[in-house]
Amino acid sequence: MNLRGLILATSILTLVVVPVALHAGEYNAVVEIGAPMPQFSDLPATDGTSLSYADLEEEVVILVFLANHCPWVKGMDPDLIELGEAIQSDNVRIIGVSVNHREDDRMPAMKKHGAEAGYNFTYIYDESQQLGRELGATRTPEYYVFDKDRELVYMGLLHNSPASKRQDGTINYTEGDPTQFYVADAVKALLAGQEITVAETRAHGCSVEYAQN
């Protein structure tokens, strides 16, 4: 990077940091690691049930913000489902959350997409968008891992090679085969009572649109 580039990049960074006065993570304007899981109640799921915070009994809970319409979600679906299979026998629960108001991200489309993609976890819709707001979830897919005390221990990417589904149906991994599995590693560390080495990464995907007052 030349000097001009460095100066411009520095000015960008300065402006990024200043307006965000909230408690925030490195890549999150609202929460930082250690934040409590927001309370939620009776959010409808694609299987016809509803889910509340109080229903969660597992040792580890993974919230992943999803959007049916998003090529980055579609590209990463197989890896998310693989994660679901890998943790099946453990005391871990994955919950998919959709909060966008666009029609192709609402419940009817969620049911269709979940069935077609083979989602093997509870997939809920939060029309109030409150859960996403309180977690500062602005991209899909974006992962949040909570420990048994429901404190946030990891947020960001599933792994280090975000993938998107192209128009021709092929899946393209930005960094080739993934080599670092952040969510799986965080879960393993929690279950083994070990420290989590990577607690935050820059989630990549489609933007979540929140209703602005």
- In terms of CB distance, is 92 or 152 closer to another protein? 152
- In terms of CB distance, is 65 or 123 closer to another protein? 65
The CA distance from 183 to 62, in Å, is 8
N-terminal to C-terminal alpha carbon distance within the chain: 40
The CA distance from 112 to 81, in Å, is 16
The least CB distance from residue 148 to another protein, in Å, is: 27
Residue matched to tokens 């280090």: 160
Contact track, another protein, 109-138, x by CB under 8 A: --------------------x--xx--xxx
- In terms of CB distance, is 75 or 114 closer to another protein? 75
Give, in order, the Cα–Cα distances in Å from 199 to each of 75, 115, 143, 155, 186: 23, 31, 11, 6, 8
| Position 103 contacts another protein (CB under 8 A) | no
- In terms of CB distance, is 60 or 99 closer to another protein? 99
**Residue 70 tokens, joined:** 């998003």
Contact track, another protein, 154-193, x by CB under 8 A: --------x-x-xxx---x-xx------------------
The least CB distance from residue 187 to another protein, in Å, is: 23
| Position 93 contacts another protein (CB under 8 A) | no
The least CB distance from residue 47 to another protein, in Å, is: 27
Give, in order, the Cα–Cα distances in Å from 13 to each of 6, 17, 29, 156: 10, 6, 14, 20
Residues forming contacts to another protein in the complex (CB under 8 A) are 1-2, 4-5, 8-9, 11-13, 15-16, 19-20, 22, 27, 29-30, 69-72, 102, 129, 132-133, 136-139, 162, 164, 166-168, 172, 174-175, 202-210, 212
